[in-house]
């Protein structure tokens, strides 16, 4: 059974959820960038995908993972799991695929990372289908233009939304005060992305062209500013840091901090060796991780084609141009 809701009822519906959940919505921030934030009655941003993904609710830039305190010669440790009950409204299909990739990494393949899984288990996802292509997107090439793993799907239709429940958790949100049954078939708007990426044998092609001249050529424009990795919904690399309360038995804390493969210091290891000294090697790592290594290890591409890294790059470095040039070279100039 599917449902509809009028656009004018959406703010009241979201407000009603606040009795039970922290409600997170897409909206513009104080400097005009679109991002996900707590719903306080502000105007929603529903035009296209947001400039920043909802990743911070699953992998915050700074996350306290445990605290520790000296107790008569030993240490007591207390883990910190975020169990806040959240509803995330308006997550786009590309970002649901990003969560799927992170789930594979942090829940399925290497044992459960409870700091991540606690946030995932306690968050209800209301996906919003795209009705037009976003700037620089290529989600259709990456197979990420249809939402996955969500509890409810909203599709804009005229003066309201068509609503398709996917889980029992989603169905429980469908308060008859706001939602009406419909027997209509679900609308399925088609989008046509601005960019395309030839993905057949892509990972293998990129890896075989590890020493292609394009890496050096493109990296000459790279500023190592990290904008690409900050906006990416799937970049997850992190460092840890401790805040010590020295000389006392006060509580100290360990934090997990998002890092960036584009920074020289991120590639420095114990003993002082720097693994990726050149900007070209760091740019190549970003592209190969998203379009080659992750798929080889986990069976899905880490890149979901949201196009955010392209939009955010101040020098217009575009991973689809790099990958398509290499594909063209690999395919003997046929593309
Ligand atoms: S690499 Fe770029 S296009 Fe791919 S998911 Fe990350 S930000 Fe989006
Ligand atoms: S956003 Fe562009 S300039 Fe900045 S680190 Fe990424 S590729 Fe380099």
Model confidence at 333: pLDDT above 50: no
Whole-number pLDDT of residue 334: 42
Higher pLDDT residue, 188 or 223? 223
Share above pLDDT 70 across residues of the chain, in percent, rounded to a whole number: 98
Task: Please indicate whether residue 307, judged by its CB atom, sits closer than 6 Å to ligand 1.
Answer: yes
Q: Report, as an integer, the average pLDDT of 305-328.
A: 96
Whole-number pLDDT of residue 331: 57
Question: What CA–CA distance (Å, rounded) separates 76 from 287?
Answer: 42
Model confidence at 262: pLDDT above 90: yes
User: For the ranges 80-84, 172-176, 326-330, which has the lowest average pLDDT?
Assistant: 326-330
Dump pLDDT digits (tens) for 168-179: 999 999 999 999
Q: Would you tell me how many other CB atoms lie within 10 Å of the CB of residue 205?
A: 21
CA–CA distances in Å: residue 80 to residues 37, 65, 68, 123: 22, 5, 11, 17
CA–CA distances in Å: residue 189 to residues 154, 186, 192, 268: 12, 10, 10, 47
Question: What CA–CA distance (Å, rounded) separates 118 from 123?
Answer: 9
Whole-number pLDDT of residue 330: 62
Q: How many domains does the chain have?
A: 1
Residue 141 lies in a domain: yes
User: How remote is the CA of residue 287 from the centroid of ligand 2, in Å?
Assistant: 11
| From 314, 318, 323, mutation site for ligand 2 pocket: most ligand atoms within 8 A of C-beta | 314
Whole-number pLDDT of residue 194: 86
User: For the ranges 185-189, 204-208, 293-297, which has the lowest average pLDDT?
Assistant: 185-189
- Counting ligands in written order, the one closest to the CA of 232 is 1
The residues that bridge with 156 in the sheet, in sequence order, are 161
What stretches of 82-151 adopt beta strand conformation (E)?
Answer: 86-91, 123-128
Residue of minimum CA distance from atom 4 in ligand 2: 225
Average pLDDT of the chain, as a whole number: 94
Dump pLDDT digits (tens) for 37-48: 999 999 999 999
Residue 335 lies in a domain: no
Whole-number pLDDT of residue 190: 87
User: How remote is the CA of residue 150 from the centroid of ligand 1, in Å?
Assistant: 20
Q: Report, as an integer, the average pLDDT of 295-299.
A: 93
Residue 47 lies in a domain: yes
What stretches of 139-282 adopt beta strand conformation (E)?
Answer: 152-157, 160-165, 180-182, 238-243, 252-258
Model confidence at 102: pLDDT above 50: yes
Pocket (CB within 6 angstroms of ligand 2): 222-228, 262, 283, 312-315, 317
- Find the distance separating the first CA and the last CA of the chain, reported in whole Å: 45
User: How remote is the CA of residue 311 from the centroid of ligand 2, in Å?
Assistant: 10
Tell me the Cα Rg of the chain.
22
Helix (H, G, I), strand (E, B), or coil: what is residue 264? helix
DSSP string, 182-193: E-SPPP------
Specify the pTM: 0.95
Dump pLDDT digits (tens) for 135-163: 999 999 999 999 999 999 999 999 999 99
Nearest ligand 2 atom to alpha carbon 312:
1
Q: Report, as an integer, the average pLDDT of 5-32.
A: 97
pLDDT band for position 248 (50/70/90)?
low
Range of the domain at 100: 2-330
Dump pLDDT digits (tens) for 114-126: 999 999 999 999 9
Model confidence at 57: pLDDT above 70: yes
Dihedral class, residue 299 (left if φ above 0, else alpha if ψ from -120 to 50, else beta): left
Residue 322 lies in a domain: yes
């Amino acid at each position: 059974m599917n449902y509809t809701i009028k656009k004018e009822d959406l703010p009241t519906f979201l407000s009603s959820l606040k009795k039970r959940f922290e409600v997170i919505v897409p909206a513009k921030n104080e400097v005009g960038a679109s991002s996900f934030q707590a719903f306080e009655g502000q105007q929603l941003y529903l035009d296209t995908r947001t400039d920043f993904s909802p990743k911070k609710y699953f992998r915050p830039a700074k996350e306290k993972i445990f605290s520790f305190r000296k107790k008569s010669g030993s240490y007591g440790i207390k883990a910190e799991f975020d169990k806040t009950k959240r509803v995330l409204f308006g997550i786009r299909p590309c970002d649901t695929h990003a969560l799927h990739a992170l789930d594979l990494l942090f829940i399925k393949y290497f044992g459960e990372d409870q700091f991540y899984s606690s946030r995932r288990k306690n968050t209800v996802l209301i996906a919003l289908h795209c009705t037009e292509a976003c700037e620089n997107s290529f989600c259709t090439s990456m197979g990420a233009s249809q939402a996955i793993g969500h509890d409810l799907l909203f599709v804009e239709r005229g003066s309201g939304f068509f609503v398709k429940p996917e889980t029992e958790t989603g169905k429980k949100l469908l308060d008859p005060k706001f939602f009406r049954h419909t027997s209509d078939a679900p609308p399925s708007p088609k989008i046509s992305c601005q960019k395309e990426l030839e993905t057949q044998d892509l990972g293998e092609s990129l890896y075989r062209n590890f020493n292609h001249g394009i890496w050096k050529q493109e990296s000459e424009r790279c500023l190592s500013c990290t904008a690409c990795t900050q906006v990416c919904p799937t970049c997850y690399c992190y460092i840890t840091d401790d805040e010590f309360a020295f000389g006392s038995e006060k509580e100290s804390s360990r934090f997990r901090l998002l890092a960036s493969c584009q920074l020289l210091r991120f590639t420095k290891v114990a003993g002082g060796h720097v693994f990726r000294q050149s900007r070209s090697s760091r740019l190549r790592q970003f592209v190969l991780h998203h379009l080659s290594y992750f798929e080889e290890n986990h069976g899905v591409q880490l890149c979901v084609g949201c196009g955010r890294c392209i939009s955010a790059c101040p020098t217009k470095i575009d991973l689809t141009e790099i990958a398509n040039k290499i594909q063209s070279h690999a395919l003997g100039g046929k593309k």
